[in-house]
Amino acid sequence: MSRALVTGGGGFLGTHLVERLESAGHDVFVPRRRDYDLTRFEDAERMYADARPELVFHLAAEVGGIGANRANPGRYWYANLMMGAHVLELSRQHEVQKTIVTGTVCSYPKFTPVPFHEDDLWNGYPEETNAPYGVAKKAVLVGAQAYRAQYDMDVIFLLPANLYGPRDNFDLESSHVIPALIRKMLEGEREVVLWGDGSPTREFLYVDDCAEGFVLAAERYDGAEPVNLGTGVETSIRELAETIADLTGFDGEITWDTSMPNGQPRRQLDASRAAELFEFRARTSLRDGLERTVAWYRDMARTPA
């Protein structure tokens, strides 16, 4: 049992992680953005003073799909870099026993050999539409390793695949592809327009599996090297759209707007390091996870505000 601080604990992954930590008996402090702006050092400093953490999970991020990344490149670079730097420095000052930092697959080079192995992180520049976000997160990895080397801090860095599941962000202005498709197809649109040609591939990790991976890493891993969390299964955006159409009963038209960017051509993680180091293996198949997510959104849509 410990006092755990979960930045971003009110968000998508955060709420699932907080539930796991609390069920295990941890005393969890969940800061709210309205109370603590982690891009401001004085706010982050006050958060640490209030939380008095022994264990920190840094999940807070400013992130979105391709459209949101194209619209906010400067903000995404600045906010994610500053939040990560503040968390590292304040964990050092407060002598936190262990800090778990969330990275992103957007940090991998655009043409990384598939499957992505952690050793490939520095072999090229990220895909352009989300490069500012990916580079900021990669800089936080450098900081984590530097703090370990100079201050002997126990900081670990995890790289989850694209997450999905209940409580995801379904706002069409900033959501990722799975919640956007589910919402559009369930709301009765006769045509769903998707960017690109459907050929890019992604790897999707169910949010509960990811939360389990974070807990296992916190308990069992103390190394400097970054670790992927994923399923090892590659799925094309076209196949994903067809699966969601089947699960939602969508019988309208799926149109591909090839004037818009595809994003990174392929994404699939080598998840062997997580299995070897802390015995993490994803349990939920994509179809099963999508079915649960669709059911959750249907229930939410029926519930009065």
Residue 1 has pLDDT above 90, yes or no: no
> Has residue 304 got a pLDDT over 70?
no
Judge whether 124 and 111 are in contact, CB under 8 Å. yes
Query: What percent of the chain has pLDDT above 70?
Result: 99
Q: What is the pLDDT of residue 173?
A: 81
For 16-53, what is each residue's pLDDT tens digit? 999 999 999 999 999 999 999 999 999 999 999 999 99
- pLDDT, residue 204, reads 97
Q: How many CA atoms lie within 13 A of 143 on its CB side?
A: 24
Q: What is the pLDDT of residues 181-205, one digit of tens each?
A: 999 999 977 899 998 999 999 999 9
Q: How confident is the model at residue 66 (pLDDT cuts 50, 70, 90)?
A: confident
Please state the separation of Cα 143 from the chain's center in Å: 19
Residue given tokens 């407060």 in the structure block:
94
Higher pLDDT, 300 or 22: 22
Indicate the pTM of the whole model. Answer: 0.93
Residue 175: pLDDT above 90? Answer: no
Reply yes or no on whether the pLDDT at 81 is more than 70.
Answer: yes
What is the crossing angle of helices 286-302 and 237-248, to 10°? 50
- pLDDT above 70 for 98: yes
pLDDT tens digits, one per residue of 67-80: 888 899 999 999 99
pLDDT at 172: 85
Distances (CA, A) of 14 to 95, 126, 169, 220: 23, 26, 12, 20
Q: What is the pLDDT of residues 130-143, one digit of tens each?
A: 999 999 999 999 99
Over the stretch 263-274, which tens digit does the pLDDT of each residue have?
888 889 999 999
pLDDT value of position 174: 79
Q: How confident is the model at residue 64 (pLDDT cuts 50, 70, 90)?
A: confident
User: Could you list the residue range(s) of the whole structural domain that residue 160 is in?
Assistant: 3-302
Phi, psi torsion values for 61, nearest 5 degrees? -160, 160
Q: How many domains does the chain have?
A: 1
d(CA 137, CA 37): 18
**What is the structure's pLDDT at 73?**
95
Once rounded to an integer, what is the mean pLDDT over residues 71-90? 97
Is 133 annotated in the active site?
A: yes
pLDDT in tens, 108-129: 999 999 999 999 999 999 999 8
**Among 36, 76, 108, 133, which one carries the catalytic annotation?**
133
From the number of C-beta atoms within 10 Å of its C-beta (0-12, 13-18, 19+), residue 56 rates as: buried
Instruction: Calculate the CA 255 to chain-centre distance.
Output: 27
CATH classification at residue 23: 3.40.50.720
Residue 43's pLDDT is 98
The DSSP secondary-structure symbol of 12 reads H
The pLDDT, as a whole number, for residue 87 is 98
